[in-house]
Amino acid sequence: MNNFIRSIINNSWIELAARWILGLTFIYASFDKILSPADFANIVYGYDLFPHVSINLIAIIIPFLQLIAGLALIGGIYPRSAAIMIVGLLFAFITFLAINLIRGHEFDCGCFSAGQSGYTGSSKVTIIRDILYFVLGIQVILFKGNRRTTFGRLRSQP
């Protein structure tokens, strides 16, 4: 079993796929928030977890953390560090969602977007989805060996 897990962790194709899935997801998730920071700030208020003076800064900065980490993952730039950032963000999202789920708070309409109601999901679904992304991020962090580049060639990467 241990060998099986290790072979998955060290599979460079899975690692490449994980980076692309996470990268595209995070870039996509950042897009609407960057375009509508006021709307995202309102959603952050809705979480009712942060001091009010910090809300706007959170709403301004978080989408760019997502964007830069996503681009870095896809581009293979500091992939382990970018994955650590993404896992950290996911850990925070999962925690905040779980706290509000436990508190029974009415939830906002968009995790991906500040205004796409066609994609509404319940908090539970979002938490499960985030946990799956979290696992992908862990694979990228633990991967040892030469990472594949987006164009399929191996390149040396400590």
Partner 1 sequence: MDDGKIIREITMLVGVSVALALVVNYFSPRGIALVGQRNTAKEIISANVAGDETYRIAEIDQVTDAGNIFYEGDTLFVDARSTEDYQSGHIPSAISLPVGQFDEHIESFLKRYPPNQPIVTYSSGRTCEDSHHLARLLADIGFSEVRIFINGFSGWEAEGYPIE
The site for partner 1 (CB under 8 A) is made up of: 34-39, 41-43, 45-47, 52-53, 55-57, 59-61, 63-65, 67-69, 72, 78, 80-82, 84-85, 106-110, 113-120, 158
Q: How far is the CB of 35 from partner 1 (least distance, A)?
A: 7
Q: How far is the CB of 151 from partner 1 (least distance, A)?
A: 22
Which residue number, 119 or 152, has a Cβ lying nearer to partner 1? 119
Q: How far is the CB of 54 from partner 1 (least distance, A)?
A: 8
Which residue number, 107 or 133, has a Cβ lying nearer to partner 1? 107
Cα separation, 126 vs 104, whole angstroms: 15
Which residue number, 20 or 45, has a Cβ lying nearer to partner 1? 45
Which residue number, 1 or 53, has a Cβ lying nearer to partner 1? 53
Q: DSSP string spanning 74-118?
A: HHTSSHHHHHHHHHHHHHHHHHHHHHHHHHT----S-SS-SS-GG
How many CA atoms are closer than 13 Å to the CA of 1, on its beta-carbon side?
0
Q: How far is the CB of 72 from partner 1 (least distance, A)?
A: 6
Query: For residue 74, which of 16, 137, 13 has the smallest C-alpha distance?
Result: 16
Query: For residue 105, which of 127, 90, 130, 123 has the smallest C-alpha distance?
Result: 123
